[in-house]
Structure 1
Amino acid sequence: MSPLVYYLAHVAVLAYALVGGVFLAFSDFIMRSLSLISGHGGAEAMQVINREVFRWVFMTLFLGLAAVSLVLVLHAAIWLDGAPAMLIATAGLVYLLGCFAVTVVFNVPMNEALAGLDLAETSTQSYWTGTYLPRWTFWNTVRTIACGLAAALLLFGLTALSQAQQP
């Protein structure tokens, strides 16, 4: 493994865990807390959160990990073999499919639908409690698990790679 990709992979382990931690907070207690706010307060708070998430720190990690994951998959497929290649490539694929793709296909469309709703309408509360909360939280939990699994697989892959290179 090239030194650049090797160090990039180590940073990716931490970044996968950090992004997963953000998602874990939402699945564990933030969404539950927002569901307990009376009236349209929870929906309004989530609309604000969805606008503020575009700040550079989280988005740099989230989008940057998609690119890094692709690099890891390609590098493992082309230049590595055995268990390290399988573990490292799988880590990248788990993030790309279980986190990035899930976000694009499920969570973002729900966020956009929520953003377009008028908080004064009764249908907004129905969408918020009957559709958004359960579905968004489910897919967010998938993202949480994917990030944790990607971090673990990449850590195991780097460990296997180090052990394979020892005399």
Structure 2
Amino acid sequence: MSLWFTWLAVFSAVSYGILAGVFLAFSDFIMRSLSQISGSGGVEAMQVINREVFRIVFMVLFIGMAPISLVLVVHELMWGGSEALLLVAAGAVYVVGCFGVTVTRNVPLNQALDDMETDSASTVDYWTETYVPRWTFWNSVRTCACALASALTVLGLAWPL
């Protein structure tokens, strides 16, 4: 494994782990806490979070890891050694299980919530009955995908011991 690729894989493992931690916090306690706020307070807070998430650090990691993951996959398919299967799996798990789930599941839920009036009873019903359980489920999928991608990358870097 070349030096540049080793460093790219190390960066990927750390980045996947950081993203897993962010997503874990939401699945573990942030969403549960927001759902316990009475009235539309949780809705308003989540709408703010969904706007503020576009800050540079999170978005660079989240969006940047998609093409980096594809580089891992392509590089290992073309030039990989015995570690190739682990690193191909890591990249694919991130692209499908995190990035893909975000684009196809979490973002549409976020957009629907953002379009709603916070003082509406139907918004509060949507929040409790649809948004929180579905968003949290898909966020947990992202958490697992990032954690698995990180673990697979570390194993790929250590292979063979």
TM-score range, shorter chain: over 0.9
- 2:123 matched to 1:138? no
Q: Give me the TM-score of the superposition, normalised by structure 2.
A: 0.98
For residues 115 and 97 of structure 1, what CA distance do their matches in structure 2 show? 25
Please report how far the alpha carbon of residue 2 of structure 1 lies from its aligned counterpart in structure 2 after TM superposition.
Answer: 2.5
Residue by residue over 1:59-79, the C-alpha shift from the partner in whole angstroms, topping out at 9 and shown as x without a partner, is 000011111100000011000
Report percent identity of matched pairs. 58
SS in 2 for 1:39: coil
* 2:44 counterpart residue number: 44
Residue by residue over 1:29-57, the C-alpha shift from the partner in whole angstroms, topping out at 9 and shown as x without a partner, is 00000000000000100000000000000
* 1:67 counterpart residue number: 67
User: Which amino acid in structure 2 is aligned with residue 13 of structure 1?
Assistant: A
User: Which runs of 5 or more residues in structure 2 are unaligned?
Assistant: none
User: Which runs of 5 or more residues in structure 1 are unaligned?
Assistant: none
Q: Give me the TM-score of the superposition, normalised by structure 1.
A: 0.94
User: Which amino acid in structure 2 is aligned with residue 113 of structure 1?
Assistant: A
RMSD (CA atoms): 0.8
Residue by residue over 1:87-127, the C-alpha shift from the partner in whole angstroms, topping out at 9 and shown as x without a partner, is 00000000000000000000000000000000121110011
For residues 119 and 28 of structure 2, what CA distance do their matches in structure 1 show? 28
* 2:24 counterpart residue number: 24
1:107-122 alignment, distance < 5 Å: 107-122=106-121
* 1:55 counterpart residue number: 55
Q: How many residues align?
A: 161
For residues 90 and 21 of structure 1, what CA distance do their matches in structure 2 show? 20
SS in 1 for 2:117: coil
